[in-house]
Chains A and B, each alone.
Chain A
Amino acid sequence: MRYGASNTAEAVNSAFLFIFITCVALLALITCLMIAFVIKYHHSRHTQVVNIKGNAALEVIWTVIPTILVLIMFYYGVAGFRVMRVGPANAFQVHVTGRMWSWLFTYKNGIQSDTLKIPVDTTIKTVISSQDVLHSFFIPAFRIKQDAVPGRENHLYFKAYRVGSYDVMCAEFCGLRHAYMLSKVEVMPKQAFFDWYAKNKPKELPKVKPGASRTAQLAARGAQLVQLKGCTTCHSADGSKKVGPSFKGLYGSMVTVATRGKTRTVTADDAYLRRSILEPGADVVKGHLNIMPSQKGLLTDEEAESLIAHIAGLKGGKAEQ
């Protein structure tokens, strides 16, 4: 019988159940003894104290029995843990990337998605990493969690038992919008999943051709990239205020920034935008925190160009900063 939304949930639930029952029994024992003694030996009833200094046999018993109990708990914990850490070589692999403050799921065939779609009854191997600070990939329904650490890959296996949609959260504090770093796991029937998987294989992006339409093509590409790269969690395109300055009206405007602690005013030209994207710490826009994750190494040259073209296209009306 399966009791839980996944094999990991099943393992955690059964370990928890054993420990929980043992703990409740121990707590009840101590509490009842305490209350019974307090009543029975209350000074209004009992004045003839007996100064018992100890009892070696009792000391041994109440050292040995808890030791055995905790060793069983330890065993249960390790057994359940193996389910998450050891999986078959043919497990279906998905890369999970944490970044301030969104999740990105990347599949072997190149699909990228902001929700995690997976087939039911299939062992999934998640390879978890981060682009900036620590995050923690947490699916409460599956009882699993693994930190996303920049510069390293952590692994976690699980197999979902039921089709449905489950919450994904970030469990490691990661800054201002930590509580909003949410997503969903969509567990799909196998057939439906593999249909989606085959259909959404990203097409080769058309080569950008030189000529008059080049900027337009780049800007169109940039409009997709701001979604995919997670820029929109912090930057709006319509002048509304988010964590970062809005892109609207940014291009060509005068921006007040702090460069190594000194305040100066610069024009937001191509070079400035490129620097802002690749080394956000170099010029920090006044009134904002220096928390933008650097995109160095995460963007190709053409992608950077596309983003700049996209931002340049969002002229008109000075944005509120």
Chain B
Amino acid sequence: MTAAVIAAAPREPSYLAYRGRYSGILGWIFSLDHKRIGVMYLIAQAVFFLVGASLGVTMRLQLMRPDNHLVQPQVYNALFTLHGVIMIFLFVIPSLSASFGNFFLPILIGAKDVSFPKLNLMSWYLFMIGAVVALMSLFTGNGPPDTGWTFYVPYSIRTSTNVVMGLTGVFIIGFSSILTGLNFITTVHRLRAPGMSWFRMPLFVWALYATAWIQVLATPILGITLALVVVERLAGVGIFDPAKGGDPILYQHLFWIYSHPAVYIMILPAMGAITEIIPTFSHRTIFGYKAIAMSSMAIALLGSLVWGHHMFVSGQSDVADITFSLLTFLVAIPSAVKVFNWTATLYKGSIVLEAPMLYALSFIFLFSIGGLTGLMQGALAVDVHLHDTAFIVGHFHYVMFGGTGFGFFAALHYWFPKMFGRSYSDKVARLAWGILFVGFNTLYFPFLILGWLGMPRRYYTYSFPQFASLEMLSTVGSWILVTGILLMVGNFLHAALKGARAEDNPWGGVTLDWKIPSPPPLENFEQIPVITQGPYDGFEGQAPR
């Protein structure tokens, strides 16, 4: 039936088919269309994710057995640095914001594009240039940086590896993030469709809006800090290195003033996507719209004040330790509120367990583990023991991968038919999800136990027999996880090339994205829609499938 409708109604060419001034690849890299830019981010991020993941798998092989010497120690140190830099700065910081945000923010608020399309394309270029510069540090100078993604001084000032190049790359990527944030804030303020008041915005938009503020306000601090390290390395000015009269703790403050809020840059958009998916697959309205919207803003605000919890054992004052611990516990509350509201949204719905929903529900479970282990680290005494151990690594992989990563996969399964107009195999998608979920927990849960037992992070190898079996288990988990990832990627590639045509609204969603064709036409809407109700009100009276 749908096919007939598609054939019958003459449509504008989709953004994929549209031919502008340039064609072929040039039609993409010179395109100002937010959808094409979003897809370009998506492809770049996916590639970086796969590169980062292979580095991670190599690390797991090295740690598989005690006293293993699969790679040299210097290689291992470069591996965890690059794994961190690539995953953090090239995958989870742009996360859903750059890819799905770019694609869907204008659509969800009924706009034709973002406020500054040229700036948007420039952000993508900055992102790619930064990435290339960062990756060039691999092949130039004295070898890849070996400092960890945190670039802690004085080591980062003393080491002879190519830290300056790496930092420069990250510095450039930072600008991409700032400009995207600026663009989104303006877009949300200026381009909402008539009738779309603040509280009629979909919750993904709220999440992107909160994220954008953090990007604009916090990222410059990272830029300045990294620039200072470069100045110190090149000019020998004593800013952070105590041997030259500098203060290494100051570096840690500056670094985490950005990098803690950055955690919310990474997770908020994923939370936003989950908030779209759960009502759609429960076929009912969201529970607690305002609570969820406001908790995004509360997280953005409170999350900017807790950076010192990364420094409980650094030697900062006890008063600072206690204050940061208290604030850390408070920032847990808005996240908890979201979890409760998502769960309540399932209540009295009519739930369909298709792939996006499976990812969304497992997001809640994994993110809860991430958040709850965060509480353990927020408690001062407990953090003294857990800090810089495998527990921390486990915790942030539950948040970053179980949270942002699974949120990203959820969004990809949810919006793939809309973005590319093709359907993937739901069976394969569910199978891949099952493998991923099992692999993920087999890989990362042992980290939590290992950390409690005292296994420090960033250890090239270990001789302690008490760690051996859990390290082995974790490595086996990485193999399972990789299988799941490859299956998922294969499913998408197959769908993109050979998939059946997707319907305009395959899931029965009610937000604006589901009211336009799949894939959307260049200008999204033939006519700018007029909004008369809340974003999730459309389920009223709708018969579930």
Contacts and interface: CB of A to CB of B under 8 A. Distances in A.
B545 A134 contact: no
A133 B154 contact: yes
**Chain A residues touching B, range:** 35 or more
A291 to B, nearest CB: 6
Interface in B333-364: 333, 336-337, 339-341, 343-344, 346-353, 361, 364
A75 to B, nearest CB: 9
A48 B314 CA distance: 56
Contact of B287 (A12, A43, A53, A167): A53
Contacts of A19: 375-376, 379, 382
Contacts of A33: 343, 346
A71 B329 contact: yes
B216 to A, nearest CB: 28
B379 A77 contact: yes
A34 B287 contact: no
B353 A77 contact: no
B332 interface: yes
A289 B159 contact: yes
B299 interface: no
Interface string B318-333: 1001100110011011
A313 to B, nearest CB: 30
Interface string B426-466: 00000000000000000000000000011011111110100
Interface string B150-172: 00101100111000000000000
Nearest to A53: B285
B74 interface: yes
A173 interface: yes
B191 interface: no
Interface in B5-60: none
A184 to B, nearest CB: 12
A244 to B, nearest CB: 14
B515 interface: no
A65 to B, nearest CB: 9
B478 interface: no
B378 A147 contact: no
B382 A77 contact: yes
A50 B379 contact: no
Given A54-B288, A133-B154, A173-B147, A16 B384 contact: no
A275 to B, nearest CB: 17
Nearest to A141: B454
Nearest to B389: A171
A291 B248 contact: no
A43 B73 contact: no
Interface string A1-24: 000000010011001100110010
B119 interface: no
A223 interface: no
Contact of B344 (A49, A58, A154, A178): A58
A66 interface: yes
B314 A143 contact: no
A74 B453 CA distance: 23
A84 interface: yes
Nearest to A84: B384
Contact of A49 (B315, B343, B348): B348
B380 interface: yes
B337 A291 contact: no
Contacts of A20: 376
A174 B349 CA distance: 53
Given A149-B248, A176-B73, A34 B384 contact: no
Given A34-B365, A145-B388, A150 B154 contact: yes
Contacts of A30: 339-340, 343, 364-365, 368
Nearest to B161: A289
Contact of B242 (A62, A151, A178): A151
B249 interface: yes
Contact of A81 (B142, B343, B381): B381
Contacts of B353: 38, 42
Contacts of B332: 66, 70
Contacts of A194: none
Given A23-B376, A290-B158, A144 B464 contact: no
Contacts of A175: 77, 146, 155, 159
Interface stretch (B100-108, B253-261, B519-527, B536-544): B536-544
B382 A59 contact: no
Nearest to A290: B160
Interface in A52-68: 52-55, 58-59, 62-63, 66-67
B234 interface: no
Contacts of B242: 149-152
Contacts of A150: 154, 242-243, 248
Interface in B266-314: 282-291, 313-314
Interface in A132-146: 132-134, 136, 138, 140-141, 143-146
Contacts of B283: 43, 49
B380 to A, nearest CB: 4
Residue of A26, A66, A76 with most partner-chain B CB within 10 A? A66
A15 B388 CA distance: 19
Given A73-B378, A173-B152, A54 B287 contact: yes
B350 A73 contact: no
Contact of A74 (B325, B339, B344): B325
A270 to B, nearest CB: 25
B321 A81 contact: yes
A301 B313 CA distance: 36
B369 interface: yes
Nearest to A19: B376
Contacts of A170: 456
A146 B155 CA distance: 17
Contact of A145 (B313, B348, B457, B464): B313
Contacts of B501: none
B349 A12 contact: no
Given A80-B381, A167-B464, A175-B159, A67 B350 contact: no
Interface string B120-155: 000000000000000000000010001110001011
Contacts of A27: 365, 368-369, 372
B327 to A, nearest CB: 10
Interface in A32-54: 33-34, 37-38, 41-43, 46-54
B152 A134 contact: yes
The 10 closest A-B pairs by CB, nearest first: A140-B454, A80-B381, A77-B379, A151-B242, A37-B346, A81-B380, A143-B385, A23-B372, A70-B329, A77-B380
Given A52-B284, A133-B154, 9 more contacts: A20-B376, A41-B349, A43-B350, A49-B349, A50-B284, A78-B322, A84-B384, A149-B314, A154-B315
Interface of B: 73-74, 77, 142, 146-148, 152, 154-155, 158-160, 242-243, 248-249, 282-291, 313-315, 318, 321-322, 325-326, 329-330, 332-333, 336-337, 339-341, 343-344, 346-353, 361, 364-365, 368-369, 372-373, 375-376, 378-385, 387-389, 453-454, 456-462, 464, 539-540, 543-545
